[in-house]
Amino acid sequence: MQLTENASTEAETQSGEAKPAAFVPAELTVVLPTYNERANVPLIVEKLDAALAGIAWEAIFVDDNSPDGTAEVAKNIARRDPRIRCIKRVGRRGLSGACVEGMLTSSAPFVAVMDVDLQHDESLLPRMLGLLRADEADLVVASRFVEGGTVGEGLSATRAWGSGVANGLARVLLGVQLSDPMSGFFAIRREKVDEVAPKLSSQGFKIMLNIAVSAKGALRVRELPFVFRERLHGESKLDTLVTMEYLGLLVSKLTRDLVSVRFLMFGIVGASGVVVHLVSLRTGLVGLSFNYAQLLATFIAMTWNFFLNNHLTYRDRRLRGFAVIKGLVSFYLVCSVGVVANVGVADWIYGMDSSWWLAGTAGAAMGAVWNYAASSVLTWRKN
Ligand code: GDD
Ligand code: MN
């Protein structure tokens, strides 16, 4: 086998064909998800180059068509440096999906995932690789919370608190024994990723946790402490939506995937709509008769639900530009039957019991059922 390979290499050299100078297959693929990280791209390549001296590595940027031209910057580097590649994804967004796709393009035995904003300490990579190589672990997680690790200056007080709550929930609800389940900095045996890939969700930020949970405790995990650094260029993309999705993941895992994340999001939005509805109704009752106040409150809550669902529940099918107006109109139209039912039910209960809040809630619940059924089919239909 070895002989044949050598022979063919010589033959090609003799025939004068261009061959890459001394091709060494990568042992480690570093997956680098990016969204608007233009300024950080050259910096991370420099840092990897220094930290991984003596290791056969490659890096794959996975960019979701960042408006700031991150992919072009990465591809310019790739033209000079064969260790660098860039996947430019169009029409898709999401950190988890980008990481999965990057890992799946690797043919190296080991892959690592890290942020490009320099918050993750690249000098940890050789140690992470060392543990995998020595077969002491299948997954090595860089943890901010294990002895010796810290969040340093990298997290605001609110973020640090939220992070603590999220970690606690994951430990209790998912039963994962990780000190930092939300960490986005880890290294793993590639074959393990291939095994769980079909089960991974492409939404949200919790890719490592998703891998650990999907592997059902079959991974040997090691944790290494690191200091989460402050972001220098650009801004964080972790927002309330990402947090909500995370809570959705927890509940859907708790119910063993019986309840979909989307249904849950719809429920959460609906619950917030009920609050909006009741506040509007109470306010409306100051000057209006009950029926008018209830009708007004219904419209306010419906509008609220539409925009929140468009942003949250259907962010992957989000309506934009003119389609928002069309969507809102269709939302009103398909729910107009629901409004009639809503006001009817509320009026009936109000007449029997005369407590405004019970009547309002019953009406709103009636409307919510309609909103859900109608909107998933008509307003945010799959193309
Ligand atoms: N391709 C792609 N698509 N990349 C993305 C996307 C996306 O939609 N959103 C974010 N990224 C990239 C960023 O460009 C960056 O390189 C990395 O993912 C992390 O994004 P940040 O926006 O900097 O995240 P963060 O610092 O708030 O969150 C980090 O810490 C969390 C724990 O507190 C990440 O490491 C998270 O994974 C981690 O859970
Ligand atoms: Mn960051």
Higher pLDDT, 130 or 265: 130
**pLDDT classification of 4: cutoffs 50, 70, 90:** very low
Read off the CATH number of the domain in which 99 is found.
Answer: 3.90.550.10
> What is the distance between the alpha carbons of residues 209 and 193, in angstroms, rounded to a whole number?
12
Q: Are residues 275 and 347 in the same domain?
A: yes
- Of 183, 207, 239, the position where a domain reaches its end is 239
pLDDT at position 77, please?
98
Tokens of 88: 């430019």
Express each pLDDT in 279-329 by its tens digit. 999 999 999 999 999 989 988 998 999 999 998 888 878 899 999 999 999
- Inside any domain, residue 330: yes
Mean pLDDT of 93-103: 92
Q: Are residues 193 and 301 in the same domain?
A: no
> What is the distance between the alpha carbons of residues 149 and 143, in angstroms, rounded to a whole number?
6
- How large is the C-alpha radius of gyration of the chain? 26
Mean pLDDT of the chain: 84
Higher pLDDT, 302 or 75: 75
Q: Are residues 101 and 228 in the same domain?
A: yes
Q: Are residues 191 and 42 in the same domain?
A: yes
**pLDDT classification of 18: cutoffs 50, 70, 90:** low
Residue 62 · residue 33 · CB < 8 Å: yes
Residue 266 · residue 314 · CB < 8 Å: no
pLDDT at position 43, please?
97
> What is the distance between the alpha carbons of residues 143 and 181, in angstroms, rounded to a whole number?
8
Neighbouring C-alpha atoms within 13 Å toward the C-beta of 280: 23
How remote is the CA of residue 303 from the centroid of ligand 2, in Å? 33
- Inside any domain, residue 11: no
Residue whose CA is at the smallest distance from ligand 1 atom 28: 238
How remote is the CA of residue 94 from the centroid of ligand 2, in Å? 14
Tokens of 50: 């220094």
Higher pLDDT, 114 or 352: 114
**pLDDT classification of 155: cutoffs 50, 70, 90:** low
- Inside any domain, residue 297: yes
pLDDT at position 344, please?
85
Higher pLDDT, 361 or 256: 361
Best mutation site among 70, 88, 95 for ligand 1, i.e. most ligand atoms within 8 A of its Cβ? 95
How remote is the CA of residue 154 from the centroid of ligand 2, in Å? 8
Best mutation site among 99, 103, 115 for ligand 1, i.e. most ligand atoms within 8 A of its Cβ? 115
Interhelix angle for 322-353 vs 290-311, to 10°?
Answer: 140
Residue whose CA is at the smallest distance from ligand 1 atom 17: 115
- Inside any domain, residue 141: yes
Q: Are residues 70 and 152 in the same domain?
A: yes
What is the rounded end-to-end Cα distance, in angstroms, of the chain? 51
- Inside any domain, residue 150: yes
**pLDDT classification of 231: cutoffs 50, 70, 90:** confident
Q: Are residues 90 and 207 in the same domain?
A: yes
pLDDT at position 348, please?
86
**pLDDT classification of 2: cutoffs 50, 70, 90:** very low
How remote is the CA of residue 280 from the centroid of ligand 2, in Å? 39
Q: Which ligand number lies closest to the CA of residue 208?
A: 1
Mean pLDDT of 225-250: 76
Mean pLDDT of 77-92: 95
Residue 295 · residue 302 · CB < 8 Å: no
Query: Where are the alpha helices (H) located in 70-189, listed in sequence order?
Result: 70-80, 95-105, 125-133, 157-169
Give the SS3 label for residue 335. helix
List the single range of 95-99, 100-104, 339-343 with lowest mean pLDDT.
339-343
Q: Are residues 64 and 190 in the same domain?
A: yes
**pLDDT classification of 173: cutoffs 50, 70, 90:** low
Residue 28 · residue 108 · CB < 8 Å: yes
Q: Are residues 204 and 79 in the same domain?
A: yes
Give the SS3 label for residue 29. strand
Mean pLDDT of 182-189: 94
Q: Are residues 91 and 217 in the same domain?
A: yes
List the single range of 74-78, 84-88, 149-153, 248-252 with lowest mean pLDDT.
149-153
Q: Which ligand number lies closest to the CA of residue 185?
A: 1
Q: Which ligand number lies closest to the CA of residue 210?
A: 1
pLDDT at 12 over 60: no
- Inside any domain, residue 336: yes
- Inside any domain, residue 292: yes
Residues with CB under 6 A from ligand 1: 33-35, 37, 62-64, 93-95, 98, 115-117, 119, 163, 182, 184, 205, 236-238
- Of 173, 206, 239, the position where a domain reaches its end is 239
How remote is the CA of residue 378 from the centroid of ligand 2, in Å? 37
Q: Are residues 230 and 268 in the same domain?
A: no
Q: Which ligand number lies closest to the CA of residue 238?
A: 1
Report the 10 Å Cβ neighbour count for 8: 10
Q: Give the number of domains in the chain.
A: 2
> What is the distance between the alpha carbons of residues 253 and 1, in angstroms, rounded to a whole number?
48
- Of 239, 274, 304, the position where a domain reaches its end is 239
Range of the domain at 195: 28-239
Most confident of 173-177, 207-211, 243-247, 353-357: 207-211
Q: Are residues 52 and 147 in the same domain?
A: yes
How remote is the CA of residue 230 from the centroid of ligand 2, in Å? 8
- Inside any domain, residue 168: yes
Interhelix angle for 261-284 vs 356-374, to 10°?
Answer: 140
Q: Which ligand number lies closest to the CA of residue 34?
A: 1
Query: Where are the alpha helices (H) located in the chain, listed in sequence order?
Result: 2-14, 40-51, 70-80, 95-105, 125-133, 157-169, 190-196, 207-214, 240-254, 261-284, 290-311, 322-353, 356-374
How remote is the CA of residue 116 from the centroid of ligand 2, in Å? 8
Higher pLDDT, 265 or 20: 265
Could you please report the per-residue DSSP string of 186-249?
Answer: EEEEHHHHHHHGGG---SSS-HHHHHHHHTTT-S-EEEEE-B-PPP-SS-----HHHHHHHHHH
Residue whose CA is at the smallest distance from ligand 1 atom 36: 184
Provide the residue type at 129 as one letter: L
How remote is the CA of residue 117 from the centroid of ligand 2, in Å? 6
Q: Are residues 63 and 151 in the same domain?
A: yes
> What is the distance between the alpha carbons of residues 58 and 48, in angstroms, rounded to a whole number?
9
pLDDT at position 15, please?
47
pLDDT at 41 over 60: yes
Provide the residue type at 169 as one letter: L
